[in-house]
């Protein structure tokens, strides 16, 4: 079984919105899977919608766990991890190879 690591690589934000600073509107993320000597990864981004009626977390108080919760609200975590597992399985036992003739 692979080890999965989710990471927020960057955040896009509006500098100012509705009296708040650095209002996040996009989370860019990676998921990396490692199984023995093989590594596979995927990248994505999700939009985040500001909700004036919801509690607001200031950027300085925002954690990676907060941002990943936004990601997992939009992305099927289990499906993404299964996709990385498939990539790792293909690396471990390729279903096709590239042959380079020497002529």
Domain that holds residue 19: 3-45+63-87
**How many domains does the chain contain in total?**
1
C-alpha–C-alpha distance, residues 72 and 63, integer Å: 14
What average pLDDT does range 27-35 have in this prediction?
98
- Kindly indicate the confidence band of residue 30, based on its pLDDT and cuts at 50, 70 and 90: very high
Is 93 inside a domain boundary? no
Q: In what order do the strands lie in the sheet with 3-17?
A: 3-17, 20-35, 38-47
C-alpha–C-alpha distance, residues 32 and 37, integer Å: 13
Is 73 inside a domain boundary? yes
Is 58 inside a domain boundary? no
Whole-number pLDDT of residue 25 = 97
Is 99 inside a domain boundary? no
What average pLDDT does range 8-35 have in this prediction?
97
- Which pTM was predicted? 0.89
The dihedrals phi and psi of 93, each to the nearest 5 degrees, come to: -145, 80
């Amino acid at each position: 079984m692979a080890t999965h690591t989710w990471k927020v690589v960057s955040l896009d934000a509006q500098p100012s919105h509705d009296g708040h600073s650095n209002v996040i509107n996009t989370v860019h993320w990676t998921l990396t899977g490692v199984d023995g000597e093989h590594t596979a990864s995927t990248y994505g981004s999700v939009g985040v919608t500001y909700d004036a009626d919801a509690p607001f977390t200031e950027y300085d108080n925002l954690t990676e766990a907060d941002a990943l919760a936004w990601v997992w609200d939009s992305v099927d975590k289990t499906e993404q991890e299964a996709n990385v597992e498939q990539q790792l399985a293909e690396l471990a036992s390729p279903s096709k190879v590239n042959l380079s003739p020497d002529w």
